[in-house]
Amino acid sequence: MKKHVVLYKSLSPALRERLGEHAEITEITQLGGDGLARLRDALPHAHGLLGASLRLDAALLDLAPRLEAVASVSVGVDNYDLAYLDRRAILLSNTPDVLTETTADTGFALILGTARRVVELASMVRAGEWTRNVGPAQFGSDVHGKTLGIIGMGRIGEALAQRGHFGFGMPVIYHSRNPKPAVDARFNARHASLEQLLAEADFVCMTLPLTAATERMIGAREFALMKPSAIFVNIARGKVVDEAALIAALQSGQLHAAGLDVFEKEPLAADSPLLRLDNVVATPHIGSATVETREAMARCAVDNLIEALAGRRPANLVNPQAWAARGR
């Protein structure tokens, strides 16, 4: 008898068919409206869950006594209570690697778009306000040769460093828990304290995961350490930044500009002060949002779930403690 999977993320026909070969599927196309109620009704029968962007807390997962595995279509796992999953020996998998290059592309798009004021000036043209050659009031900032500071040197941080070093001749400095000699050698990069990086970097880019240690890692103190000409870019998670402090720094001119793909609360509220600032480029969490990458992420998640429900360790297991708890 096939195991039961609750799917709360749209899959391509080919991937849905592949999953259906291994499991019975209850599909919930939208979590809005009565979707969450339908999810609750389906959980008692679920052996597996596949989806993203839903906070799976104990109150929900207590409704799923048969649950064996959760396949998240994401790299970040801050929506999951790992301690709870470990206690119940529920395997959690994610989708690293496949979105690295696409997310780094997004980061560099924000660097370029913010430095060269692309959104602001394109809006001026669209509004019919381009009536003469641009002058100093519309000038942007160079990117080539400027110092790129990366906070969090994981896969995405390395991909960003590659673009900056090889593509734009940017000196690279980074802050992470430990130096990475291979990164230093490949990109002529330098490991630095957070304070050193903030003081030296022309572009400060966040690429680290959200954890208890990184939540609100960047606040008023950190913005005060940056150059007034610095540009801040966040492709990590919104909550690694104190958003109120970021707004204050941008409004006061303490910080030159920001390129943001993530926010404390998403979707970003229409009355957010960030949307009234010309020195902000804001995108709707599009880090991995390309046709090719989202399909690759979904394929990875499907493969992870099939393996887990077959009693095999998935390739992208997040919580090996749960696997150990099964006596494997």
Exactly one of 285, 294, 299, 307 is catalytic; name it: 285
Exactly one of 175, 237, 256, 299 is catalytic; name it: 237
Exactly one of 55, 195, 266, 312 is catalytic; name it: 266
Active site residue 266: yes
Active site residue 295: no
Give the chain's largest Cα–Cα span. 72
Active site residue 237: yes
Annotated active-site positions, please?
237, 266, 285
